[in-house]
A = this chain, B = another copy of it.
Amino acid sequence: MNNEPIISVIGGGSWPTALVKILTENVERLNWYIRSKSDIDHLKKHGHNPRYLSQATLDTSKIHFYDDIEKTIEESDILIFAIPSAFLKDAMQDIKADFKDKFVISAIKGIVPDDYITVAEYFNQYFKVPFKQIGIITGPCHAEEVAMERLSYLTVACDDQENGSFIAEKLNTFYIKTTTASDIYGTEYSAVIKNIVAIASGICHGLGYGDNFQAVLVSNAIQEIKRFLDNTYPSERKINGSAYLGDLLVTAYSQFSRNRTFGNMVGKGYSVKSAQLEMNMIAEGYYAAYCINEINKKYQVDLPICHAVYNILYENISPQIEIKLLSEHLK
């Protein structure tokens, strides 16, 4: 990495917009890839994203906009990916850029469909990025609250402590406190599973379960996440830290979580397909539920919450029956 590495943010949604807002507080130049030219034009003219997090005013004088992802990658040293995991492979399919000296950060927290691998694993397998050149940015952090400059905490997980600290420093502002960690695997899978939990939480809410049950569900969920991590990639990790439990809490207790909203609709009786159509998007946790089920065939860890969500979404089991069965497992 050079002394003044150039950072890019890749993606035009709420979370990348929030990251751009944070980073422009600390860097003099930022590359930003957005697929839509008209969004870029709007941003250049008005200083805010027309479609996502439009309440955030951005310092566009520091931003170099790109609508060509290949060129963005070539002209940046640090690549912060924030495209929904469902579209990552499509977006990256024709990329020929050399990743040898790139530092790749995932702010995605999702599973790459079809391959059933995490984003870190995807860049490692498809683009030969060594894990020491990969990092993860994780919450608990709703983009909406970043726009409002409400104090939030981010964790940068990275094998290479120096690179991790560099990114953490660039994300540190008066409304963002950052810490570093080394557990890429744990923070990424924890972030993936928490989306499944948020779907479960939504389903239960939709079925009429209350706050008492929700508290039990979430307590059991963090135990389930720990069990999965301990059995698949043991490491000294503080599961009750913000990057694990905190991230779970902000998602499972949020009325704004897309995963929770999707689950809520399913709990209320929508079919999976019609809930997806109604929402006009696919919640990350939908893929995650399938993927974790696939991965867990090998490990056979007891994951009752993930299993229940999988059964509801993919095996057509009635939410009512499945959550009733789940409730017998919880304590």
Contact = CB atoms under 8 A, between A and B. Distances in A.
Complex copy number for this chain = 2
Contacts of A209: 150-151
Given A242-B331, A246-B219, A331-B179, A212 B253 contact: no
Contact of A327 (B151, B211, B249): B151
B331 A212 contact: no
Nearest to A249: B215
A208 interface: yes
Nearest to A143: B212
Interface in A215-231: 215-216, 218-220, 222-223, 226
Contacts of A214: 249-250
Which of A179, A208, A241, A250 neighbours the largest number of chain B CB atoms within 10 Å of its CB?
A: A250
A250 B215 contact: yes
A131 interface: no
Nearest to A224: B240
A44 interface: no
Given A150-B210, A212-B142, A177 B327 contact: yes
A220 to B, nearest CB: 8
A192 B81 CA distance: 44
Interface string A133-169: 0000001111001101011110000000000000000
Interface in A245-276: 245-247, 249-250, 253-254
B240 A222 contact: yes
A52 interface: no
26 contacts: A139-B215, A140-B211, A145-B210, A145-B212, A150-B212, A151-B209, A151-B210, A151-B213, A152-B213, A153-B212, A153-B331, A177-B330, A212-B250, A215-B242, A215-B249, A218-B245, A219-B240, A219-B241, A219-B245, A219-B246, A222-B240, A223-B240, A223-B241, A239-B240, A240-B240, A249-B249
A317 B210 CA distance: 37
Contact of A148 (B150, B210, B239): B210
B331 A216 contact: no
B179 A212 contact: no
Interface of A: 139-142, 145-146, 148, 150-153, 177, 179, 208-216, 218-220, 222-223, 226, 238-242, 245-247, 249-250, 253-254, 327, 330-331
A150 B217 CA distance: 14
Nearest to A155: B331
A327 B152 CA distance: 10
A254 B211 contact: yes
B177 A140 contact: no
Contacts of A151: 209-210, 212-213, 327
